[in-house]
Amino acid sequence: MYFSEKVSVFGRVILQNIRYTSDSMLSQSVEKKLMGSYLLNRRIKAVHVLELESDHGLTLCHYELVLDDQRIPPMMDDLTLVDKNAYANSSVIYNGKR
């Protein structure tokens, strides 16, 4: 099966269960956690953390979701995080749409 180029969706979220630190491993840990949280959407091929910052001690994360095929626009309703208790103020954007 042929797939065209991948497509990116960008998001931001506050991670309720991860305290912000300047540890260089935090980015990898957050990527794994987010990838697991989007596991129900088979189109997501990767999660890349773009920026981490402190939000009152919690971790505010800006990230990129890499989807498999740009010919199929992402369904924004499918791009929700599974564990609502672990995240706050989550949003994703694709082509200016939330």
Which residues pair with residue 4 across a beta bridge?
none
What are the domain boundaries of the chain? 7-93
- The answer to whether domain 7-93 has CATH 3.40.50 is no
**pTM here?**
0.86
Q: What is the pLDDT of residue 40?
A: 61
31/59 Cα distance (integer angstroms): 13
pLDDT in the model for residue 1: 47
Chain segment 34-71, per-residue pLDDT in tens: 988 886 678 888 999 999 999 998 999 999 999 988 78
Q: CA distances (Å), 86 to each of 70, 72, 75, 94, in order?
A: 29, 29, 22, 23
Q: Give the containing element (helix H, strand E) for 60.
A: strand 58-67
